[in-house]
Amino acid sequence: MKKIAVLTSGGDAPGMNAAIRAVVRYGIYAGMDVYGVERGYMGLIEGNIAPMTMRSVSDIIQRGGTMLKTARCPEFVTKEGQQKAIGKLKALGVEGLIVIGGDGSFMGAKALSEQGFPAIGIPGTIDNDLAYTDFTLGFDTACNTILDAINKIRDTMTSHDRVSIIEVMGRRCGDLALYAGLGGGAEVIVVPEHNLDIDRICERLQAAKSRGKLSGIVVLAEGAGHAHELADEILKRDASFSIRSSVLGHLQRGGSPSMKDRYLGTCFGVHAVKLLEKGVGNRIVGIKDNKVFDMDIVEGCAMKKEFNIELYNMASVVAR
């Protein structure tokens, strides 16, 4: 292929800019024309597609978010929308598209592939909810952002002998809560994949208190409940606790990408360009056992993520 395009779609994630930079610079190095699409699939349908240069991606590797902006685009879920998008790409002679996004965006890339337009997916979402790859772009940075918040909250909780409920992102996948909860030494981690009812949460907090813990941290994935409601429910069962609750929200999506996310973004971007350079489409790029790889997009998108119950149990034992 001699003409390719790249876009970012869905929730933004730190590391997306590193991937964009690698796609543009390696693509130009390989003798390709590289186009950038603004605002995801919406930009594709609207024809917001412009050539990129080596200088277009200067000074972005250290920045969170996405220089190409992103958007959600219901129209692209329709065949008509997809056909419009393919028409815009073909009008410019673009032969392949790199999509940086999460599971929804990959559904769009799969749709393009099924309509005969080669697409490569790069996993970009802080949720880490794509089963085929060990890690997605943004997950490591978001975990470190949450850890920074847990450390700050722990300072004041220990000063007041309080319990803090900290709500983190992750609608269907609890990896942010699990990994940041483990790293933050949370006494209780609540995720959508593992039902922990409120009575059990209370029992765990009471057991921690009986072991001499005068303060505690509960990390709650948004897909498993809401921090303020959980705090009220715990107090209804045991008014002896002093509880505060925090919802971290969209600060988890920002921040300068960690080394790991800059590394993954760069490797994923180069790998994606090399596939299109060989005329290979309809693949998704990932990392497995520290090795960057690619697999069929239909097969990869069909994989179901398994919850790491061993890690979950380890985290709760070592936080006692």
Residues labelled as active-site residues? 127
Q: Give the whole-angstrom CA distance, residue 23 versus residue 276.
A: 11
Pick from ligand ADP, ligand F6P, none: which does 123 bind, CB < 5 to 8 A by kind? none
Length of the chain: 320
Q: Give the whole-angstrom CA distance, residue 258 versus residue 273.
A: 23
CB burial class (10 A; 0-12, 13-18, 19+) of residue 257? buried
Pick from ligand ADP, ligand F6P, none: which does 103 bind, CB < 5 to 8 A by kind? ligand ADP
Provide the token pair at 112: 């393009």
Stretch that binds ligand F6P, among 122-130, 143-151, 194-202, 304-312 (CB under 6 A): 122-130
Interaction pattern, residues 243-282, with ligand F6P; x per rule: CB under 6 A: ----------x-----------------------------
Pick from ligand ADP, ligand F6P, none: which does 117 bind, CB < 5 to 8 A by kind? none
Provide the token pair at 110: 């799969």
Cβ(168)–Cβ(153) below 8 Å: no
> In this chain, which of 96, 102, 124, 225 binds ligand F6P, going by CB under 6 A?
102
| Tokens 């303060």, located at residue | 215
Nearest to 258 by CA among 126, 95, 77, 158: 126
Task: List binders of ligand F6P among 177-196 (CB under 6 A).
Answer: none
Cβ(302)–Cβ(174) below 8 Å: no
* Min dist. Cβ of residue 297 to ligand ADP (A): 12
- Chain position whose Cβ is nearest to ligand ADP: 104
Q: Which is nearer to ligand ADP, 124 or 184 (CB)?
A: 124
Cβ(268)–Cβ(137) below 8 Å: yes
Stretch that binds ligand F6P, among 46-54, 124-132, 189-197, 284-292 (CB under 6 A): 124-132
Nearest to 126 by CA among 280, 32, 251: 251
Q: Which is nearer to ligand ADP, 217 or 221 (CB)?
A: 221
Binding region for ligand ADP (CB under 6 A):
9-11, 41, 72-73, 76-77, 101-105, 107-108, 111, 125
Q: Kindly give the interhelix angle for 309-318 and 175-183, rounded to the nearest 10 degrees.
A: 30
* Min dist. Cβ of residue 207 to ligand F6P (A): 30
Q: Which stretches of the chain bind ligand F6P, using CB under 6 A?
A: 11, 102, 125-127, 169-171, 222, 253
